[in-house]
Structure 1
Amino acid sequence: MTPQLDRQVLLQDTSRRGAAFCGLLSEKVDLWLQQLWENAGGPATGAALVAVGGYGRSELSPGSDIDVYLLYEPKTSVSALAESIWYPIWDEGIKLGHAVRTVKETLALASDDLDTATAILSARHIAGDPKLAEELAVKGDDLWRKRSKRWLDEMDVRVRSRHEESGEVAFLLEPDLKNGRGGLRDVHAITWAERAGMSLLPGDHEAILEAYEVVLSARVELQRRTGRHSDVLLLEEQDAVSAALGFDDADVFMRALSTAARTIAWVSDELWFRARSSLDGPTRRKLRRDEEALVGVVVRDGSVALAAGAEPANDPYLVLRVAVTAARNDARIERTTLDRLAESKPLTTPWSEEARRLFVELFLAGRPAVQVVETLDQRGLWEPIFPEWSVIRCRPQRNAYHRFTIDRHLCEAAANSAALVDRVDRPDLLVVGTLLHDIGKGRPGDHTDVGVELIAEIAPRMGFDEGDTLILQQMCRHHLLLADTATRRDLSDDGTISFVADSVDSLTCLRLLDALTEADSLATGTAAWGSWKEELVGVLVDRVAHVLSGGSVADATDTGFPTPHQRDLLAQRRRIIEAVDDQIVVISPDRPGLFSRVAGVLSLNGLTVLEAAAHSADNQMALEQFRVQSNF
């Protein structure tokens, strides 16, 4: 009788989590494969079953593949043996990664294929001849070290490509626990890099072990719950996974997951930066000279460091000068520099003009500022500058509209705003106001009201005067005003334009809100900003600007609808349909429900209505105008 794999007892034992679960499941599979080997008459010498990859590491999650090699000595027949082992595995519904090769053939493939080379780094004997498994492991390790420079270079490229494709575990609403930046695969890559001669800095090994357990536990529970090979933690699964892991609620769980992933990502980024530097070689590094940057700061070998004589304990602005230099050069900050900056003297309150200028310049650097803030926050250097950050750090926004955690969303939005400074009179207020627009989230009460109250404390502490503080509060209070009004209200209505003009109160604030709206939307998610929304917001801003510049509301809302041509058509008192480019005009006898019926017909025929207007004439005729976009 063919041996069966019984996993149900273990799967139902929710006290077994993370690495402990994976180890027990791997042991069960080991025993099962050994029974299959014996049942198939597998020999004690000349052939061996070897676990590789995740199974070789004894890290089988509920939905993991089983990766095994059937190794054999030349002239040994193993075809029947292979079938006797593979088919029972397939019958269990388990995905099998398998190969039947000699040790020599496997090593030849590993010499030129990264996936094979990394797989055999975790080769582990399961059944049969242990000498074959040992030979593969020893020679595979030697081969890996001999080709270490090539593999480090190729892994570096792969790591960056994987991050770009899968995003970040720490900050995404629905993270990829395995392939995302800060996920399990990053730790595997770190381990492989260590086998190639790289080493972690003091404290990093312990940090990633603890963080790895958090991410691995989440993956185990996700797959245990869904019964699928799934690595993306969907929003709909987060409550159940959180409960299974014993967290009070999903927000607490996702924050813990984010914190763990940030640690892994930080260590990974640090190691691969040093790997790239080592691949350059000492000769190339010696040709580079330190580049002087801001006072007390230099750029050295592509990273930012403290200049000779710089004393953080006596210079409260040194952290910000290092940050600005790193953002301007899109460079990492040296680890020893970060350690020394922990001694920094705190900023005086209120901030000086220099401190405020440096803070603004950090975000005016654009996209690189995001990683600089992340680095400072990871090393405990950001919260002393911005104490309110502690409440929003790694805090999830668990709705399908937002893709990032609150802290990352604010950084992304502020970085986006740097590209829009040509629209505004005050670039400093734009980047700071954008950074603060959601600062009230994560606290009791309406986040906008809370944010306005917090800014009343934050802005003066940063050295902004009363007038600037009021503008920053207005940006927070009305950060949703333009987007909501443009997409939900009639922009040809006098009341709509008057309401926005009265709320905004000044052209300066209107321009700031216009740029904030785009920066915020782009940081929110792909569905939050598009050409249609951009056009509507632009129309609203133009009309409100006309009023705030002294023009009349009537002039601002005069769209010329109906046109003289359309009035002539109405006078004919007959049903008329005109279609020109993306615009459809329908004229028909007026009756209740006409507008909704026409809109419904357009939708049924694959047309999305982007803009619509209606007019009822005195002669009982109706005019409806639609701007549409095809769904095909």
Structure 2
Amino acid sequence: MNEIDIPNQRAIIDRRELAEKVEALAREKGEKARQDIVSVLKQALEDGRKEIDRRLSEQPSAGHLCTGGQAFLIDQLLRVIHDYVITHVYPVANRSSAERLAILAVGGYGRAEMAPHSDVDIAFITPTRKASWCEQVIEAMLYFLWDLGLKVGHSSRSVDDTLRMAKEDLTIRTALLESRFVWGDRPLYEEARARFWTEVVKGSERQFLAEKLEERDARHKRMGDSRYVVEPNVKDGKGGLRDLQTLYWIGKYIHQVQKGAELVDVGLLTKAEYRSFRRAEGFLLAVRCHLHAITGRAEDRLTFDLQREVAARMNFADRPGKSAVERFMQFYFLQAKRVGSLTGVFLAHIDEEFENKRAARGFFAGWKQKARDLKGYRVFGGRIAAPGDEWFRKDPVRLIEIFQLAEANELEIHPETMRQANRDAPQIKDEVREDPRANALFVELLSGRNNPEMVLRWMNEAGVFGRFVPDFGKVNAQMQFDMYHHYTVDEHTIRAIGLLSQIEKGELKSQHPRCTKLIHRIDSRRALYVAVLLHDIAKGRGGDHSVLGAEVAHELCPRFGLSEQETDLVAWLVLQHLLMSSTAQKRDLTDPKTIEDFVGEVQSLERLRNLVILTVVDIKAVGPGTWNSWKAQLIGELYDAAQERLRLGHMGHGREQRVAAKQEAVAELLADRSNLVGDVGELFDDAYWIAEPEDVIALNLVHYHAARAVKDQLSIHCEYYEARGATLVTVIAADHPGLFYRIAGGIALAGANIIDARIHTSRSGFAIDNFLVQDPLGKPFYEESQLKRLKTSIGDALANRIELVPKLAQRPLPRSRAGAFDVAPRVNFDNSASNRFTVIEVNARDRSALLNRLARVLFESNLVVNSAHVTAYGERAADTFYVTDLTGSKITSKPRLDEIERRLLEAASDTRQKELEEA
């Protein structure tokens, strides 16, 4: 927007001094001076960039100064190059009217907003087409710019062509809209500019608005459609620089303003909003400059590995419970949120302007739709509005009421009223927070029957949500610095509430039939909505957020008007909101002790119903692709087992009855091959029959029979297993020590991740090992070539045709950004989680073949693995093993446990990985 004065400009570049050097070289060396002139210009560019970088390090948030300085530097270089070319390279004594040239800065350069490695976007304007002198000058100038190492985006057109193309192309029209005269023939520029406004802009305002908003929406969709994604794109992401620029373009096009400050004069923004506009823009520009400086290229994505460096460069420091990078990202998201608020108000004003113009000209000119009254508010055109400027100040409870009415009546809030709510949000003090009416309205909104997600998001944008629930205000825009969570805490929470509402309305019945049915059987729907609101409320406080969140629930629920029974339920749900997902993904659900322990915590069917719904919306709201059929299967199995145990007071059937029922079901599946249940099935003990699903057992029996019939010592079968959203890999082989870790290595070499493993040995000494595998993106292998690769890789590993350790070390982790996180490996032993096994859980940074290395340690430690359960949380993996020693007993000796822990930690550590890679 070119609204900033660059202090001490000559310290960046002294054009007069540079021009004198160039002139002296031209006189001295004539045509041979070019290389020396390029060297002088290069040095000036390098010195200018160093000076700008120095200023950025001194004022790390001064984005406008940095980007304005970059544009100023390029301006001066262009002017010197232009003057040299027309004086010494292509001089013309008496130029004709066709031999004129205007140089325009366009794009970010036109706005004087250039990051260190931004493209130099230039438009050369000529009076006519194919003026040879103009073409020669342009070509000579471009070669100089390229020799300086600049990335130049350029166009060369006559005035007529420029205007014709601007009418046809939105990109060209936008570029001209923010073009800035740099050098050359100013009258030519003024002619083009005047004709642009009269011939192109006039009458096309509404079309420009529609096309720009369509362009913006498409860009948002491409970028994830949320301003709260944890690796945002500073330039093109939602809430980023491009959104601010879009506002300026629209305002400038419709009102023909030349500077951002003039948006206030035409009534599109207040002075306070414009100051916010500039602050947000300055901060985002600074972040972009730091990204360019760190990477040495035009990098606009704020990835995990760059976030720490930018935070350090911008002087953010650690605070108790919150790291420097989390504080930096929270501030970033607050700016993005502000951009969103400004966008909403701005576009609604524009929309209203067009509506007023249409009404003034149309058949109903002078007629205005009469507003109806709704509890003192004015409602018209699908919007609810405050009746006066003092409305909220007279009764701040109305700041809650208006959002509740909007949700209950499916209304939008008028932009002027949103502006008032934002301004008056500080009126919400303790007396409002303790007001029973205000709290009743809030809970009514939270558990609204229409679209609570949308209205809560408006409430959050207006700053009312965080004022009314200060604990929520603390997690506003708070980032979770990991690769698992896709959104900030407040955005994740609001999305989870939206998902709960969709489930209740039956909109997700096909994906979540169980939850859709159960939500209508719970005792208190408002308690469940409050639990979803509070489940992550205590993140970033430096302790266990579940424990701290339960304490917050005990304080807030009575204030919200919940009964003692509802309060206890909400507090328990917040305390245990990770229990079900953790148990389902990390524990063996066929082990009766797992179900007993889980039920011991849950204690009632009412808690179980609420917990399963909370678990589903919590996982699903983490981000796209986090919820999948595998997790659905696990949580469904745990719910069914726990529900049976709670309903009957014991497991529905004893061990013998369960095995008999399973055998009967498998026989039915096998149909005319049902004899295999007796012939082959008797080779497996009860643990096998209980552990595996009927369909997997049926497959196993067929494969086992076929392998033994041909005396095959090794059978590997791979197939897409739709029910669990994974690929089932079954290996039948003569049992021997190290079989599990070798299979794990083979699977890793094929580029697959194991998500579950069950290891069984028949009475005849053959192992049947069943693995569920997915690719690194959580998708199953189902193409024939993928299944063949899996089978070949496992076969090679088991037959010792490859050396596993060096081969695995050569495979890089597909998600190398995990290196941006500190994940200290941790090993936990639990001898109470199972009656038969020692449960070992290893948490470590996820990396290639981690499971293989851990399995090898267990083999070398003389442990027998019965089952393995693998869970990935972004950059962190949690691998759980059910093991015994060689005699089938638990491991209880402290020295033995210490030695196993030491070896597992070594295998899981980054140091060990580096050693293997160097081997």
2:98 is aligned with 1:58? no
- Please report the TM-score for the alignment, with normalisation by the length of structure 1: 0.90
Name the counterpart of 1:114. Answer: 170
2:46 is aligned with 1:8? yes
Name the counterpart of 1:473. Answer: 571
1:423-474: CA deviation from partner (whole Å, max 9, x where unpaired): 3213212211011001111213111111111111111111112211111111
1:346-392: CA deviation from partner (whole Å, max 9, x where unpaired): 766766488436524444457x5344334334444223421212321
- 1:201 corresponds, among 266, 269, 275, to 269
Shift of 1:151: 0.9
1:544-563: CA deviation from partner (whole Å, max 9, x where unpaired): 11111115336499476675
Shift of 1:522: 1.8
- 2:312 corresponds, among 221, 226, 243, to 243
- 2:73 corresponds, among 9, 18, 28, to 28
Name the counterpart of 1:319. Answer: 399
- Please report the TM-score for the alignment, with normalisation by the length of structure 2: 0.63
Name the counterpart of 2:239. Answer: 182
Alpha carbons 2:465, 2:473 under 8 Å: kept: no
Task: For 2:64 and 2:303, locate their aligned partners in 1 and report how far apart those are by CA, in whole Å.
Answer: 22
Name the counterpart of 1:255. Answer: 330
Shift of 1:525: 1.9
Specify whether residues 7 and 234 from structure 1 end up closer, same or farther in structure 2 by C-alpha distance, changes over 3 A only: farther
Task: For 1:554 and 1:624, locate their aligned partners in 2 and report how far apart those are by CA, in whole Å.
Answer: 28
Task: For 2:662 and 2:731, locate their aligned partners in 1 and report how far apart those are by CA, in whole Å.
Answer: 14
Shift of 1:617: 3.4
Alpha carbons 1:608, 1:630 under 8 Å: kept: no
Task: For 1:500 and 1:523, locate their aligned partners in 2 and report how far apart those are by CA, in whole Å.
Answer: 24
Shift of 1:344: 7.1
How many residues of Structure 1 are paired with residues of Structure 2 in the alignment? 630
Alpha carbons 1:326, 1:333 under 8 Å: kept: no
Name the counterpart of 2:900. Answer: none
Shift of 1:622: 2.8
Task: For 2:249 and 2:419, locate their aligned partners in 1 and report how far apart those are by CA, in whole Å.
Answer: 26
Alpha carbons 2:735, 2:766 under 8 Å: kept: yes
Specify whether residues 561 and 71 from structure 1 end up closer, same or farther in structure 2 by C-alpha distance, changes over 3 A only: same
Specify whether residues 296 and 542 from structure 1 end up closer, same or farther in structure 2 by C-alpha distance, changes over 3 A only: farther
The gaps in structure 2 that reach 5 residues or longer are 1-33, 57-61, 256-265, 318-323, 505-515, 668-675, 684-704, 722-727, 774-779, 787-919
Quick check: 452-461 or 579-588, which moved more?
579-588
2:200 is aligned with 1:125? no
2:177 is aligned with 1:97? no
Specify whether residues 359 and 316 from structure 1 end up closer, same or farther in structure 2 by C-alpha distance, changes over 3 A only: farther
Quick check: 473-482 or 5-14, which moved more?
5-14
Aligned runs of 1:277-316 on 2, under 5 Å? 277-280=352-355, 281-282=358-359, 288=369, 290=371, 295-306=375-386, 312=392
Alpha carbons 2:535, 2:577 under 8 Å: kept: yes
Query: Superposition RMSD on alpha carbons, in Å?
Result: 3.1
1:507-538: CA deviation from partner (whole Å, max 9, x where unpaired): 11111111111211122123531111111111
2:410 is aligned with 1:356? no
Structure with the larger RCO, 1 or 2 (CA within 8 Å, 6+ apart): 1
Quick check: 534-543 or 35-44, which moved more?
35-44
Alpha carbons 2:499, 2:621 under 8 Å: kept: yes
Shift of 1:169: 7.4
Specify whether residues 384 and 46 from structure 1 end up closer, same or farther in structure 2 by C-alpha distance, changes over 3 A only: closer
1:222-277: CA deviation from partner (whole Å, max 9, x where unpaired): 11111111211111111211222222222222222222222122111211123234
Alpha carbons 1:48, 1:71 under 8 Å: kept: yes
Matched position secondary structure for 2:553:
helix
Structure 2: which amino acid aligns with 1:299? Answer: V
Name the counterpart of 1:495. Answer: 593
Structure 2: which amino acid aligns with 1:617? Answer: S
2:222 is aligned with 1:165? yes
Task: For 2:398 and 2:215, locate their aligned partners in 1 and report how far apart those are by CA, in whole Å.
Answer: 35
Aligned runs of 1:380-459 on 2, under 5 Å? 380-421=463-504, 422=516, 423-424=518-519, 425=522, 426-459=524-557
Specify whether residues 556 and 411 from structure 1 end up closer, same or farther in structure 2 by C-alpha distance, changes over 3 A only: farther
2:335 is aligned with 1:335? no
Task: For 1:274 and 1:546, locate their aligned partners in 2 and report how far apart those are by CA, in whole Å.
Answer: 58
Task: For 1:478 and 1:453, locate their aligned partners in 2 and report how far apart those are by CA, in whole Å.
Answer: 13
Aligned runs of 1:516-531 on 2, under 5 Å? 516-531=614-629
Name the counterpart of 1:617. Answer: 762
Task: For 2:106 and 2:602, locate their aligned partners in 1 and report how far apart those are by CA, in whole Å.
Answer: 63
Alpha carbons 1:170, 1:257 under 8 Å: kept: no
Percent of residue pairs identical:
27
Shift of 1:173: 0.9
2:604 is aligned with 1:506? yes
2:339 is aligned with 1:228? no
Task: For 1:200 and 1:291, locate their aligned partners in 2 and report how far apart those are by CA, in whole Å.
Answer: 26
Task: For 2:210 and 2:608, locate their aligned partners in 1 and report how far apart those are by CA, in whole Å.
Answer: 49
Matched position secondary structure for 1:40:
helix
Alpha carbons 1:577, 1:584 under 8 Å: kept: no
Quick check: 464-473 or 146-155, which moved more?
146-155
Quick check: 228-237 or 302-311, which moved more?
302-311
Matched position secondary structure for 1:460:
helix
Shift of 1:506: 1.4
The gaps in structure 1 that reach 5 residues or longer are none
Which one has the largest radius of gyration? 2
Task: For 1:47 and 1:95, locate their aligned partners in 2 and report how far apart those are by CA, in whole Å.
Answer: 21
Alpha carbons 1:326, 1:372 under 8 Å: kept: yes
Specify whether residues 238 and 308 from structure 1 end up closer, same or farther in structure 2 by C-alpha distance, changes over 3 A only: closer
Shift of 1:298: 4.7
Matched position secondary structure for 2:238:
coil
1:52-71: CA deviation from partner (whole Å, max 9, x where unpaired): 12111211111211111111
Specify whether residues 25 and 547 from structure 1 end up closer, same or farther in structure 2 by C-alpha distance, changes over 3 A only: same
Shift of 1:200: 1.5
Quick check: 70-79 or 568-577, which moved more?
568-577
Matched position secondary structure for 2:315:
coil
Matched position secondary structure for 1:549:
helix
- 1:630 corresponds, among 781, 796, 807, to 781
Name the counterpart of 1:147. Answer: 204
Matched position secondary structure for 1:404:
coil
Specify whether residues 370 and 214 from structure 1 end up closer, same or farther in structure 2 by C-alpha distance, changes over 3 A only: farther
Task: For 2:771 and 2:461, locate their aligned partners in 1 and report how far apart those are by CA, in whole Å.
Answer: 51
Matched position secondary structure for 1:14:
helix
1:89-120: CA deviation from partner (whole Å, max 9, x where unpaired): 23334322111111111111112222111211
Quick check: 117-126 or 210-219, which moved more?
117-126
Task: For 2:679 and 2:771, locate their aligned partners in 1 and report how far apart those are by CA, in whole Å.
Answer: 18
Name the counterpart of 2:742. Answer: 597
Structure 2: which amino acid aligns with 1:30? Answer: D
Structure 2: which amino acid aligns with 1:175? Answer: P
1:5-33: CA deviation from partner (whole Å, max 9, x where unpaired): 44433444332341111122112211222
Alpha carbons 1:315, 1:345 under 8 Å: kept: no
Alpha carbons 1:122, 1:137 under 8 Å: kept: no
Alpha carbons 1:73, 1:102 under 8 Å: kept: yes
Task: For 2:54 and 2:277, locate their aligned partners in 1 and report how far apart those are by CA, in whole Å.
Answer: 24
Aligned runs of 1:567-586 on 2, under 5 Å? 568-569=679-680, 571=683, 575=713, 577=715, 579=717, 582=721, 583-586=728-731
